[in-house]
């Protein structure tokens, strides 16, 4: 199943929007992986990283109310699981409110304990 079919259709994205989202997510993952581990855990890096994620969503027209649903959907996909963990941990490291993404975060914690 293509990304457009698996994610794009679920969020009513056009083929072009789906392609931009998929490319943007891959670029975010690459940027996170290439960053040095001591840099990744700084609030400055986390803030910039999460901002890039927000900008990507804005560029394709996904509003803030759908972010949690998107991350939940992506977390269910094995190939995007680590990226979702990086996005949520960056959000929290940057000082984001703990109640946001709480359900996904709890799922991540329980999956890591298994």
Question: Digits of tens for pLDDT over the chain (114 positions)?
Answer: 788 888 988 999 999 999 999 999 999 999 999 988 888 889 999 999 999 999 999 999 998 889 999 999 999 999 999 999 999 999 999 999 999 999 999 999 999 886
Asked if 28 contacts 49 with a C-beta cutoff of 8 angstroms, the reply is yes
Exposure of 19 by Cβ count < 10 A (0-12 exposed, 13-18 middle, 19+ buried)? middle
């Amino acid at each position: 199943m293509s990304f457009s079919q698996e994610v794009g259709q679920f969020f009513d994205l056009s083929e072009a929007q789906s392609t931009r989202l998929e490319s943007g997510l891959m670029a975010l993952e690459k940027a996170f992986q290439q960053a040095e581990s001591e840099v990744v855990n700084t609030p400055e890096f986390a803030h910039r990283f999460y901002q890039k994620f927000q900008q990507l969503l804005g560029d394709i027209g996904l509003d803030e109310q759908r972010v949690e649903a998107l991350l939940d959907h992506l977390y269910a996909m094995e190939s995007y699981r680590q990226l979702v963990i990086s996005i949520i941990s960056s959000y929290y490291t940057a000082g984001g409110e703990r109640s946001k993404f709480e359900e996904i975060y709890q799922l991540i914690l329980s999956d890591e304990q298994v």
